[in-house]
Structure formats: structure tokens, C-alpha cells
Amino acid sequence: MNVMSERGRPRTFDRNAALRRAMDVFWAKGYEGASISDLAAAMGINSPSLYAAYGSKEALFLEATDLYSRVEGADIWLALEEAPTARLAIERFLRRTAKAYSQTDRPQGCLIALGALHEDSSRGAICADLRRRRAENLTALKKRLERGVAEGELPADFNCRAAATFFATVQHGMSIQARDGASRAALLATVAGAMAAWKTMADTAEA
């Protein structure tokens, strides 16, 4: 398959490197704000090469968001699985979020959260895909909390869904906070606020 595709004139640019550049543009400007001109210029190619290699703006965005989750988001969500307790898992998840969202050498906030918030007939697939990814993230949080219940760390009647919703919402808010230029310290203050809810939530469930 791969061997057969080596016929014809070879591509003169690195497809993965160009995709990463496209990701940065979408990340900074959002889906509608990023024009084909912007993208092609950042990728160092002309628009026909872009369309030949990726198909369309929509397809390019979908590939870019996939790359984003794998490269930029992986570390954050890995914390959920690796931490020994649910409490530590949530805390590390939020702290890594604060760190990632305040990196000064890349766009602030999250591409998944901010990439395409305004639905439109011409952007239906884009919005649906981002929504699906956000829903997956919510499920990952819920699963980790449920594991905490199963392992006896949290009371049996702990509301995992509600808690997961809360922490996911805090993370989404941090994207907007980061876009407003919040410092890492300010984002960590939000993390501290969210974690302050932990004890009360666990105790309330027991009562």
C-alpha cells in the first residue's frame, strides 16, 4: 500500500511538520478565523498543495485537532490514569492544565474548547467533532472518579457525574481565563479553588 503510493512526483514538504503549523494557526485563530491563506502561508506551501494533501479546510482541521489531542493534550489526561488516588488524579489533571494553558510560546487556552464554539450549517461537522472530544474528556473524568468509588477512596453515593461535570467546566473556564492573559499563578488559584470543593463533595455524599 505504502510502497505503491511512492509513484509520481514526491511531496517537497513534510506533511506532519506542515500539519503542526496548521494546528498552531487553528489554535490561535479558531476554525473560522483561520483562512486558507493564513494556513498555507504558515505551512510554507500553496493552497493546491494543501488541498492535495489534506482534502479540505474541514479535513485539515479534523487532522489538526487529532494531532492536538495526541501531542498537546496527552500529558494532561495521562495524569488521570497514573495518579494513585482520584483526588491526586484530579489535582494533577488541573495543575497540568494550568501549566499547559499558560505556556507563553504557544496560543493560550485549549483548541478543543475554543476552536469552534458557534455552530453554523457550514461548520456542523467541526462543532460536532469538538463536542464529541469534550464529551470524551468528561467521560474520562467520570470514569476516574468511579474508580475512586470502586476502590473505597470515595463514598458509594458520591455523585461522579456531577463532580466530573464540575471539574470539566472549571477546565473549560480556564481556557477563557488563559485567553484573557491570566498568569500561571492565576490559573493555579483557580485550581486551588476547584480542589477546595473536594472535601466538601466527598463529605456531603457520605451524609
Partner DNA sequence: TCATTTCTGTGTTGATCGATACATAAATGA
Partner DNA sequence: TCATTTATGTATCGATCAACACAGAAATGA
- Chain contacts with DNA (rule: CB under 7 A): 5-13, 32, 34-38, 45-49, 51-53, 56-58
Query: Is 102 strand, coil or helix?
Result: coil
Which of a second copy, DNA, none does residue 83 bind to, with CB < 5 to 8 Å depending on kind?
none
From the DSSP assignment, how many helices (H) and strands (E) are in the chain? 10, 0
DSSP 48: H
11 versus 132: smaller Cβ distance to DNA: 11
201 is a site residue for a second copy (CB under 8 A):
yes
Minimum distance of DNA from residue 207's CB (angstroms): 54
Angstrom CA distances, 154 to 119, 138, 163, 201, stand at 38, 18, 12, 10
Minimum distance of a second copy from residue 51's CB (angstroms): 23
69 versus 165: smaller Cβ distance to a second copy: 165
Q: Which three-class secondary structure string do you get for 147-194?
A: HHHHCCCCCCCCCHHHHHHHHHHHHHHHHHHHHCCCCHHHHHHHHHHH
81 versus 119: smaller Cβ distance to a second copy: 119
13 versus 166: smaller Cβ distance to a second copy: 166
Is-contact 27 107, C-beta < 8 A?
A: yes
69 is a site residue for a second copy (CB under 8 A):
no
Cα angle 35, 41, 44; round to 5: 140
41 is a site residue for a second copy (CB under 8 A):
no
149 is a site residue for a second copy (CB under 8 A):
no
Distance CA 207, CA 152 (A): 16
User: Of 15-23, 78-86, 88-96, 106-114, which segment contacts a second copy by CB under 8 A?
Assistant: 106-114
User: Of 14-22, 55-63, 87-95, 181-189, which segment contacts a second copy by CB under 8 A?
Assistant: 181-189
Among 29, 87, 143, 184, the residue binding a second copy under the rule CB under 8 A is: 29
